[in-house]
Amino acid sequence: MLEPDAARARILAALEDVAPLPPERVSLAEALGRALAEPVLAPRALPPFDSSQMDGYALRAADARAPGARLRVAFEVYAGSVPPPLPEGACCRIFTGAPVPAGADAVEMQEEVARQGAFARFRRAAEPGRFVRPAGSDLALGAVALEAGAAVDAGATGLAAALGRTELAVYRRPRVGLLATGDELVPVDRPPAAGQILDSNSHALAAACREAGAVPLLLPFARDERGSLRRALAAARGLDALVSTGGVSVGEKDLVKEAVEAAGARLDFWKVAMKPGKPVAFGRWGRTAVFGLPGNPASALVTFELFVRPALRRLAGLPGTGRVRLPARLAEPASKPAGLTHFLRARATVRAGQLWVEPLRSQASGHLTSVTGFEALAVLPSAATRLRRGAAVEAILLAPPREP
Ligand code: AMP
Ligand code: MG
């Protein structure tokens, strides 16, 4: 059976011809979290002019070579104003961010200057360049400010804005169809009859899609019946990805695999050597990536995390999984049969510089209370059977560890 890491590698390789999706120009606000499709170049230098780093006095350093120099204060220059050239032998009052006047080559902070009426006395010797931010010292005209492929964060937004950009070219967000399957399902806004349950997977996976930078679309449910599945799949045509839940196991009514193949999808695999989520299918349907996830809520979320999320990021041009995988220690003993890699939902804590993972009490894949309240997936290797407390494992961090 396919190992989880190999399955993810196969998925990413299979998306090579469609990822990243085409770029689009969007507002700075819309670009947050997305990958730049082109580098951002500097159409102006930063800072654009020599400016003061301090509130103080601008002068020619040569006029205050020794402590105690006394210079006439010729004028004041505020941020946003344009000063005249500095007269010979004079200094000027200056404030942070204000242009340094022509002629001046240094600024002294006001704490080092005694004001005496129209004069200023410099307590220490001036140094050329001190407290002056030279034009272009942050970024030269024409330089690459942001590399193509970089994810836009708050800082990148600020840098782009400082360069006068109101829009950025980023890769399109993947549009993901979510298809819940099962005769027992009822939409969350309807009362369930006997034997029915509310469809929670669509909502959990929609949230997981948004978290991964994708746009989810809830498709009409499919019944456990060939015709219903066929009609539901038709609604997903042309999307970047289709994620179904339920119906991929070996039960008599598990028809998803058959239905997507009948619709013309090519399945690459439908089983991975892991728990939860052994039945999980992946394939391509034209340009659409197709994922068949199990119906149990925890299995659906864990398989989404391990397989769908990296695929969506690849489609969006974002690097890697966006998660760190770190060595950790197991806070509780664990045992399992050999043969499958187990991914346990676990609390993560750092104690004395060591990452600890404590698996949640319930790992039942059908329980809804244990699909929240954890920061990590503890990875128990396929061959492992008994792991003592303190055993070295890997942890996939989904959120920052807790404060101890
Ligand atoms: P299946 O994979 O279709 O055999 O479903 C496994 C379990 O997950 C069953 O108990 C289903 O009722 C449950 N399940 C399937 N789809 C959903 C859904 N959309 N929301 C919540 N539970 C579901
Ligand atoms: Mg089912």
| Residues 236, 190 share a domain | yes
**Digit-coded pLDDT (tens) for 277-330:** 899 999 999 999 999 999 999 999 999 999 999 999 999 999 888 999 999 999
User: Using a 6 Å cutoff on CB, does residue 114 contact ligand 1?
Assistant: no
Contact 117, 71 (CB under 8 A): no
Ligand 2 midpoint to CA 253 (Å): 7
**Digit-coded pLDDT (tens) for 242-283:** 999 999 988 888 899 999 999 999 999 999 999 998 999 999
Q: How many domains does the chain have?
A: 4
| Residues 145, 70 share a domain | no
Contact 79, 55 (CB under 8 A): no
pLDDT value at residue 315: 98
What band does 1 get if pLDDT is binned at 50, 70 and 90? Answer: very high
Whether the predicted pLDDT of 54 surpasses 80: yes
The CATH number of whichever domain residue 38 belongs to comes to 3.90.105.10
pLDDT value at residue 77: 98
| Residues 266, 186 share a domain | yes
Give mean pLDDT, residues 77-93: 98
Return the residue matching tokens 């679309």. Answer: 217
Average pLDDT of the chain, as a whole number = 96
Give mean pLDDT, residues 1-11: 97
**Digit-coded pLDDT (tens) for 347-396:** 999 999 999 999 999 999 999 999 999 999 999 999 999 999 999 999 99
User: Using a 6 Å cutoff on CB, does residue 185 contact ligand 1?
Assistant: yes
Ligand 2 midpoint to CA 313 (Å): 28
Q: How would you class 120 by CB atoms within 10 Å of its CB: exposed for 0-12, middle for 13-18, buried for 19 or more? A: buried
pLDDT value at residue 164: 97
Q: Percent of the chain scored above 90 by pLDDT?
A: 96
User: Using a 6 Å cutoff on CB, does residue 247 contact ligand 1?
Assistant: yes
Question: Within 10 A of 355 (CB to CB), how many other CB atoms are there?
Answer: 17
For residue 106, give the nearest of 140, 56, 149 by alpha carbon.
56
**Digit-coded pLDDT (tens) for 131-144:** 999 999 999 999 99
User: Using a 6 Å cutoff on CB, does residue 183 contact ligand 1?
Assistant: no
Which position has the higher pLDDT, 253 or 227? 227
Residue 213 lies in a domain: yes
| Residues 187, 275 share a domain | yes
Residue 402 lies in a domain: no
Mutate to test the pocket of ligand 1, among 245, 256, 271, 368 (most ligand atoms within 8 A of CB): 245
pLDDT value at residue 254: 86
| Residues 214, 257 share a domain | yes
The C-alpha angle 194, 185, 241, rounded to 5 degrees, equals 175
pTM of the model: 0.93
pLDDT value at residue 250: 82
Question: Which ligand number lies closest to the CA of residue 218?
Answer: 1
| Residues 238, 281 share a domain | yes
Question: Which ligand number lies closest to the CA of residue 368?
Answer: 1
For residue 20, give the nearest of 206, 156, 174 by alpha carbon.
174
Whether the predicted pLDDT of 404 surpasses 80: no
| Residues 62, 123 share a domain | yes
| Residues 302, 207 share a domain | yes
The CATH number of whichever domain residue 384 belongs to comes to 2.40.340.10
| Residues 256, 125 share a domain | no
| Residues 128, 165 share a domain | no
Whether the predicted pLDDT of 13 surpasses 80: yes
Give mean pLDDT, residues 158-181: 98
Question: Which ligand number lies closest to the CA of residue 366?
Answer: 1
Ligand 1 midpoint to CA 264 (Å): 25
Fill in the amino acid letter for 346: A
Provide the β-strand partners of residue 218. Answer: 178
| Residues 189, 59 share a domain | no
| Residues 89, 31 share a domain | no
Residue 404 lies in a domain: no
Q: Which domain holds residue 334?
A: 324-397
